[in-house]
Amino acid sequence: MDPAGVKFILNPYDEFAVEEALRLRDKFKGEVTAISVGADNAKEAIRQALAMGADKGILVKGDKSDSFQVADMLAAAIKPLSPDLILLGKQSIDFDGMEIASMLSELLDLPAATVAVALNIEGNKATVEKEVEGGRETIQLDMPCIVAAQKGLNEPRYPSLPNIMKAKQKPIQEVSGAPGAKRTEIVEMTKPEKKRANKIVKIDGNASQAAHELARMLHEEAKII
Amino acid sequence: MNILVYLEERNGRIRKPSLEAISAAHALGGTVHAAVIGAEANALVEQAKTLNVQTVFAASDARLAKYSSRATARALAEIAKQANAEVVLVGATGRGKDLAPRAAIRLEAGYVPDVTAFTNSNGDIVATHPVYAGKAQMSVRVTTPVKVFSTRPNLWKPSKDAAASTPAVQNVSVSFQDTDFSEHTTALTLSQGKLDVAEADIIVSGGRGMRGPEHWTLIENLAEAFGAATGASRAVVDAGWRPHAEQVGQTGKTVSPTLYVAIGISGAVQHLAGMSSSKTIVAINKDENAPIFSIADYGLVGDAFEVLPALTEEIKKLRSH
């Protein structure tokens, strides 16, 4: 994929994470640092987080193509900060891996819960509602911990104009990532092959005939029913 | 090549995505083993012994009565070492997608999530998985000696055959630490009765074309005729017509049923991302230019309200044979 001309955005799932961080900061008093791994164009996403209200930013410069390396670079940058809570989106919408929070948990030796649709913090315990097939799993974690946000965790705020202006003055520290060796290599990216039959029938006033034809195709051709 | 498949349990039974992972393991080629991890692994071990695996590795600890991903990951990695596994497969369920990358870190192994296909050329394994919300697919080679993959549910057939001879059982002792249990499940609340969209073989899904929540009986009746689960587009969930649990799409659930019927759904890219790997897709929409038709195998252009009752009757007739 050629990145020239593509606007890099704050990953939508990370917006829920930023929003949750801001609400918790306002509730418990504290500081929100927005951190990202990538090239210079990742600064745009960090600025958006700062515009939402995050206090400072960190850009870890490095190659994002290997998930282990991303997690490794994040872990190294996060460790010295000793945060009480690490929030991120459940997955990035480019590679859809859903793996970073879980890897960070192992690398930082901290508990983590993923696909969180609800988060409650009391004392030094966090309770997360995780969305699973068929329902919800309630997970309790000791803090410090990591939580990966799913849609529904909250309603992210739109940055106000004053906050957008303030964001320009907030610092973004740049560090160079030094991850361990890559563990995967991309062979190729292709468009999915699945060829569809595209047998489209117009109803054209004769609903019972159209219904019959569709049922016939599902029975005789697709052999599904 | 030794392949270890993690068997996920729910309500005392091994879950279908784990049985599918066993099929994926055999398709990959190698000696397939199973890992059972829990408080009293015995009941699950008995189930695992009926499967097509050579050895059932079991790790148990009373503290695992409440699921803990960190503890389970430690056990899975330990079992992988004992089994001398080159490949570890985990069904890509909610738990699996968290467990697999953890095991990968513990094994210093590369990991590919949500795999939809494998090729194995004399031991060179390449795994394909969807990216950019399903608009593309990426083929990835893991370059470490041990390789971990999570396999997308509903693509491989669930393996139900027995092995040629009864699997051996090997108990594995794991040195759990207290911190392994610093995160654990306290409750699992499943919606009673209704077939979950993520597990269903057939899904009948409705969108804005249904005009309002009061018309949903048309969708439900057709779903019932098919023996299907009901799904929904983001638009109708955001509008409050249907619960988020039914939402199919990038910000909802990703499904790959045998049959997906999209009614009054235009086919926005984000919706397609959630269902484009369905084996057969049917679309019913008033607009012949709706993008959904480009990925439909079969479609009807016209008013869903006219055709749904008739279609429901046709399906009932066919299925009653």
In this structure, the answer to whether residues B174 and B207 fall within a common structural domain is: no
For residue A222, being part of any structural domain is answered with: yes
CATH assignment of the domain containing A86: 3.40.50.620
Last residue within a domain, chosen from B181, B211, B238: B181
In this structure, the answer to whether residues B22 and B159 fall within a common structural domain is: yes
Alpha-carbon distance A36 to nearest alpha carbon in chain B (angstroms): 19
* pLDDT, mean of residues B49-75: 96
Cβ contacts of A105 on chain B, cutoff 8 Å: 69-70, 102
Confirm or reject contact between A9 and chain B (CB < 8 A): no
Confirm or reject contact between B58 and chain A (CB < 8 A): no
Which chain A residue is nearest to residue B126, measuring alpha carbons? A187
Q: Which residue has the tokens 């520290």?
A: A173
Provide the pLDDT for residue A7: 53
Q: B202 near B255, Cβ under 8 Å?
A: no
Provide the pLDDT for residue A150: 86
Phi first, then psi: give them for residue B228, nearest 5 degrees.
-110, 165
In which band, very low, low, confident or very high, does the pLDDT at A93 lie, cut at 50, 70 and 90? low
Which chain A residue is nearest to residue B193, measuring alpha carbons? A134
Nearest by CB to A192, which of B137, B245, B303? B137
Q: Do B318 and A225 touch (CB under 8 A)?
A: yes
Amino acid at A98: M
In this structure, the answer to whether residues B206 and B121 fall within a common structural domain is: no
For residue A172, being part of any structural domain is answered with: yes
Confirm or reject contact between B299 and chain A (CB < 8 A): yes
In angstroms, rounded to a whole number, what is the distance separating the alpha carbons of residues B135 and A213? 31
Alpha-carbon distance B313 to nearest alpha carbon in chain A (angstroms): 9
Q: Do A115 and B94 touch (CB under 8 A)?
A: yes
Nearest by CB to B302, which of A113, A136, A210? A210
* pLDDT, mean of residues B25-30: 96
Percent of chain B at pLDDT > 70 equals 98
* pLDDT, mean of residues B143-154: 95
Interface of B with A in 276-295 (CB under 8 A): 276-277, 280-282, 288, 293-295
In angstroms, rounded to a whole number, what is the distance separating the alpha carbons of residues B12 and B46? 11
A-B Cβ pairs (cutoff 8 Å, strict): 258
Provide the pLDDT for residue A68: 96
For residue A181, being part of any structural domain is answered with: no
Nearest by CB to B184, which of A107, A140, A184? A140
In this structure, the answer to whether residues A17 and A125 fall within a common structural domain is: yes
For residue A123, being part of any structural domain is answered with: yes
Q: Do A134 and B199 touch (CB under 8 A)?
A: yes
Q: What is the pLDDT of residues B227-237, one digit of tens each?
A: 999 999 999 99
Could you give the 3-state DSSP secondary structure of residue A215? Answer: helix
In this structure, the answer to whether residues B243 and B133 fall within a common structural domain is: no
Q: Do A202 and B301 touch (CB under 8 A)?
A: yes
For residue B194, being part of any structural domain is answered with: no
In this structure, the answer to whether residues A204 and A132 fall within a common structural domain is: no
Distances from the Cα of B36 to the Cα of A25, A103, B2, B170, angstroms: 41, 22, 16, 10
Flag whether pLDDT at A41 surpasses 90: no
For residue A67, being part of any structural domain is answered with: yes
CATH assignment of the domain containing B112: 3.40.50.620
In this structure, the answer to whether residues B50 and B113 fall within a common structural domain is: yes
Provide the pLDDT for residue B245: 87
Q: B183 near A137, Cβ under 8 Å?
A: no
In this structure, the answer to whether residues B159 and B265 fall within a common structural domain is: no
For residue A143, being part of any structural domain is answered with: yes
Probe site for chain B from A90, A138, A187 (most B CB atoms < 10 A): A187
In this structure, the answer to whether residues A211 and A120 fall within a common structural domain is: no
- Domain enclosing residue B177, as ranges: 2-181
Residue A28 is inside which H or E element, if any? Answer: helix A12-28
* pLDDT, mean of residues B202-227: 96
Flag whether pLDDT at B193 surpasses 80: no
Last residue within a domain, chosen from B147, B181, B215: B181
In which band, very low, low, confident or very high, does the pLDDT at A9 lie, cut at 50, 70 and 90? low
Which chain A residue is nearest to residue B104, measuring alpha carbons? A103
In this structure, the answer to whether residues B250 and B140 fall within a common structural domain is: no
Q: What is the pLDDT of residues B231-287, one digit of tens each?
A: 999 999 999 999 988 999 988 888 989 999 999 999 999 999 899 889 899 999 999
Q: Do B297 and A198 touch (CB under 8 A)?
A: yes
In this structure, the answer to whether residues B141 and B6 fall within a common structural domain is: yes
For residue B212, being part of any structural domain is answered with: yes
In this structure, the answer to whether residues A66 and A168 fall within a common structural domain is: yes
In this structure, the answer to whether residues B176 and B207 fall within a common structural domain is: no
In this structure, the answer to whether residues A141 and A225 fall within a common structural domain is: no
For residue B238, being part of any structural domain is answered with: yes
Nearest by CB to B311, which of A109, A189, A214? A214
Confirm or reject contact between A82 and chain B (CB < 8 A): no
Provide the pLDDT for residue A223: 85
Q: Which residue has the tokens 């794991």?
A: B174
In this structure, the answer to whether residues A213 and A136 fall within a common structural domain is: no
CATH assignment of the domain containing B291: 3.40.50.1220
Flag whether pLDDT at A154 surpasses 60: yes
Q: Do A222 and B277 touch (CB under 8 A)?
A: no
- Domain enclosing residue A222, as ranges: 195-225
For residue A184, being part of any structural domain is answered with: no
Confirm or reject contact between B302 and chain A (CB < 8 A): yes
In this structure, the answer to whether residues A113 and A216 fall within a common structural domain is: no
Q: ipTM of this predicted complex?
A: 0.89
Return mean pLDDT, chain A.
89
For residue B193, being part of any structural domain is answered with: no
In this structure, the answer to whether residues B153 and B15 fall within a common structural domain is: yes
B85 Cβ contact partners less than 8 Å away, ≥ 6 residues apart: B2, B3, B4, B33, B79, B146
In this structure, the answer to whether residues A132 and A215 fall within a common structural domain is: no
Flag whether pLDDT at A11 surpasses 80: no
Domain count along chain A? 2
Q: What is the pLDDT of residues A197-207, one digit of tens each?
A: 999 999 888 99
In this structure, the answer to whether residues A158 and A207 fall within a common structural domain is: no
A134 Cβ contact partners less than 8 Å away, ≥ 6 residues apart: B190, B191, B196, B198, B199
> pTM of the full predicted structure?
0.85
Nearest by CB to A106, which of B106, B130, B295? B106
* pLDDT, mean of residues A159-182: 95
Provide the pLDDT for residue A132: 87
Domain count along chain B? 2
In angstroms, rounded to a whole number, what is the distance separating the alpha carbons of residues A188 and A198? 28
| Vertex A181: Cα angle to A176 and A186 (nearest 5) | 100
Q: What is the pLDDT of residues B69-122, one digit of tens each?
A: 999 999 999 999 999 999 999 999 999 999 999 999 999 999 999 999 999 999
For residue A185, being part of any structural domain is answered with: no
Closest CA to A204 of B61, B123, B301: B301
Cβ contacts of B242 on chain A, cutoff 8 Å: none
In this structure, the answer to whether residues A127 and A204 fall within a common structural domain is: no
Provide the pLDDT for residue A4: 52
For residue B306, being part of any structural domain is answered with: yes
**Helix, strand, coil share (%) of chain B residues, nearest 5:** 35, 30, 35
Q: Do B94 and A145 touch (CB under 8 A)?
A: no
Interface of B with A in 183-242 (CB under 8 A): 183-191, 196, 198-199, 202, 226
In this structure, the answer to whether residues B230 and B175 fall within a common structural domain is: no
Interface of A with B in 112-141 (CB under 8 A): 112-115, 127, 130-141
For residue B113, being part of any structural domain is answered with: yes
In this structure, the answer to whether residues A50 and A127 fall within a common structural domain is: yes
In this structure, the answer to whether residues A24 and A127 fall within a common structural domain is: yes
In this structure, the answer to whether residues B172 and B92 fall within a common structural domain is: yes
Distances from the Cα of A159 to the Cα of A47, A156, A167, B11, B180, angstroms: 11, 9, 10, 45, 39
For residue B248, being part of any structural domain is answered with: yes
In angstroms, rounded to a whole number, what is the distance separating the alpha carbons of residues B194 and A54? 41
More confident residue, A120 or B244: A120
Which chain B residue is nearest to residue A200, measuring alpha carbons? B299
Flag whether pLDDT at B22 surpasses 60: yes
Cβ contacts of B314 on chain A, cutoff 8 Å: 211-212, 214-215
